[in-house]
Amino acid sequence: MENILLEYYDNTDLYDSYMPFFKQGGLFFRTDDEYDLGAEISLHVSLPDSLESTNVKGQVSWVTPKNAQNGNDAGIGVMFIEDLDNLSQQIESAISFMLHSDKPTLSM
């Protein structure tokens, strides 16, 4: 299982990456690396104003390939499958004022 560190410096970047439509939440991040759907990944996520990272086990559930037709950045969406530290709740608390925004995100 691959380990990936994601660092978010502000809530706008976090909002852009969060995928609330997954039942347990998820994150999209830009990458040119290729991943198979269903691949398991361990994410180490550093939230804005957090002193340490939070770990969550996830599964690749979204792929935007290079040169996508819609012009979106290449990357993957990782659905949380084992969120022992309640990362999804931490994210939703941090960006609660933005959750119902019409502002497009990296995945939608």
Q: What is the pLDDT of residue 72?
A: 72
For residue 73, give both structure tokens: 């950045």
pLDDT digits (tens, 9 = 90+) for 2-36: 999 999 999 999 989 999 889 999 999 999 999 99
Q: What is the pTM of this model?
A: 0.85
Confidence of residue 83 (pLDDT cuts 50, 70, 90): very high
The DSSP-derived string for the chain is -EEEEEE--SHHHHHHHB-TTSTT-EEEEE-SS---TT-EEEEEEE-TT-SS-EEEEEEEEEEE-TT-TT-PPPEEEEEEEE-TT-HHHHHHHHTTTTTT-----S--
pLDDT digits (tens, 9 = 90+) for 43-74: 999 999 888 899 999 999 988 888 766 667 88
